[in-house]
Amino acid sequence: MSEDGASERSERDSGGSDSLAGLGDREGWRVEGSAARVHYEGEGDRYSVEYYAPSDCVVYWKVPPEDAGETAVPVGRDTVPTPLRERIRMDLNAAGVDPEVERRSL
């Protein structure tokens, strides 16, 4: 890997404010402080997906139906539909965040 590639990689891994701004530019994403969030609904399920820049990690939340009166709960990646996980990795990559952070266990 060239020096330029190494410096690009370290910038991508940093998860700094540029990365948050990049996520904010992606469809559906909103930046709030040091985190970015997107909501997803498909196949009858609702999720909130959050990327936290300080810890460089992604957390998935299952959101109950609005009329259920319940609160969102964090869920394991293995319960999240593959197309959603792929979209999240693509958005992270486009924003300059290493898409492998999506796979990190907490």
**Are the C-beta atoms of 106 and 75 separated by less than 8 Å?**
no
Q: How confident is the model at residue 4 (pLDDT cuts 50, 70, 90)?
A: very low
User: What mean pLDDT value characterizes the chain?
Assistant: 85
Residues in the chain, total: 106
pLDDT digits (tens, 9 = 90+) for 61-90: 999 887 777 899 999 999 999 999 999 999
**Are the C-beta atoms of 101 and 92 separated by less than 8 Å?**
yes
**More confident of the two residues 39 and 43:** 39
Return the structure tokens found at 56. 């460089």
Return the structure tokens found at 104. 């990190």
Q: φ, ψ for residue 33 (rounded to 5)?
A: 65, -120
pTM: 0.80
